[in-house]
Amino acid sequence: MKIAIIGGGSAYTPGLIEGLLKIRHEVPWTEICLMDIDRDKLKVVSAIVTKIVREADASAHVTTTLNRVEAITGSAFVLCQIRVGGLAGRVLDEKIPLKYGVIGQETVGPGGFAMALRTLPVMLEIARDIEKHAKEAWLINYANPSGMVAAVLAKFTQIKAVSICDVPIGIQYFLADAMGVPHHQVKLDYVGLNHLGWFRRIFLKGEDITPYIHRMVQSQDILSLLPSSDEKTVEETKMALRIYEKTKVIPSPYLQYYYLTRESLLKQQQERQTRGEVVQAIEKELLSHFAEVVEADDVRLWKSRGGAWHAELMVNILSSIHNDKGEEYIVNVINQGCVPGMAEGACVEIPCIVDKRGARPMPVAAPSLDMLGLMQVVAAYEALTVEAALEGSYKKALLALNLNPLVPSLEVAKQILDAYIESHTGQIRLS
């Protein structure tokens, strides 16, 4: 069995490989093919990945390629973690809106919009390659914006695909660890869109323990349970707690940009670097570290990018599909009536049963009116952004960006859009 990783030069890849090794008794893969368009990053990452695999099982092997079709051909699973435009593109996505007094964030607001314009056409190309060269393969996608990618794959291709995000599983694991129980015993009543959702109820072994969780949040210093070195998570948790204190619903960390827009913008304007610039430095350090580990010839020395659930979610979903497990995961799917009040064709993020048929959405309780209103507006923005990206329509792109709740006016939307087109040379094509 061959598994292809598109975006194999990512600093997340070694952690993903360790996850794939852990499930090899369930999914007997024999080859991992790493594909990336960045030759230098691919060389560094593939070297440490090869050592990790070789030390774990000499019968498995790692191949590398710069050719996407070569990677996809013959694969049973294609794992996608691309970032079109790289981290340099992310930095532009974040910095440009800030010039116009608008939040600059990777996947939310104008930043997520620019990412979508670059990424969605490429994801469609990847899907076409799978249709042609590995039509029975499953695509498991991590590339952002995950919800819009899921919509494109479902509506415009025939491939078998699941598009995922690690925010819900991160909350699930955090709560389980805080209670000292196995992760799989905790289930979430979650509703929303990708990077816009609410954790309404928490279940432990089938029992609703939401009141206990609320008391825990109110009585304990949640921040003390977080690693102090993870400044990003600490700051996100502080903002989430501010929202929780007023709404009494556990929010996705990304809701801070919608609920605390002014406060989030002010904080960004006071920072010396955008998050993208911080991650650039982290990646540079990690790639250098990987090279040193390979030189030392001791893979036990390697350290990951972080977020153990990042790899675990992808490999668990892969195993659930391959072994027809029917396990429950929160993923991005077309609504099809599962979320009352949302359009049939909207892409929502809700609990699903994952088996050999893919992700089958489970009906959820209707969102409250305030949740539904925000979901409907952002879903309309996303649908229009998908149309703009695939049609190359400047007019639709402008209307979509103006519809985004974080953009204050049509004039500002036009200034940001034009700046994106100029800065992302040749990567955003609209007419």
| Sign of the alpha-carbon torsion through 31, 34, 35, 39 | negative
Residue type, 245: E
Tokens of 151: 């919509």
The CA dihedral of 137, 143, 419, 426, to the nearest 10 degrees, is -30
* Nearest to 202, CA basis, from 175, 164, 240: 175
Residue ranges with strand state E in 194-237:
196-204, 207-208
Write a three-state SS string for 22-72: HCCCCCCCCEEEEECCCHHHHHHHHHHHHHHHHHHCCCCEEEEECCHHHHH
In this structure, the number of other CB atoms found within 10 A of the CB of residue 339 comes to: 26
- Whether residue 211 is preceded by a cis peptide bond, meaning omega within 30 degrees of 0, is no
CA distance 59 to 293: 22
Residue with tokens 């009543």: 189
- Give the three-state DSSP class for 105: coil
SS3 211: helix
Place of tokens 């699973």: 77
Query: Cα 254 from chain centroid?
Result: 12
**What 3-state class would DSSP assign to 24?**
coil
Short-list 130, 265, 250, 272, CA closest to 202 = 250
Strand 186-193 relative to strand 196-204, pairing: antiparallel
Paired with 348 in beta bridges are: 333
What residues have CB less than 8 Å from 341, skipping those under 6 apart?
Answer: 366, 367, 372, 376
Residue 190, beta-bridge partner list: 199
DSSP code at position 275: H
Tokens of 148: 């819009």
Identify the active-site residue in 142, 254, 258, 329.
254
Residues linked to residue 250 through DSSP beta bridges, in sequence order: 199
Residue 271: CB atoms within 10 A of its CB come to: 11
Q: Amino acid identity of 29? A: W
Residue 394 falls in the annotated catalytic set: no
Q: Which residues are catalytic?
A: 254
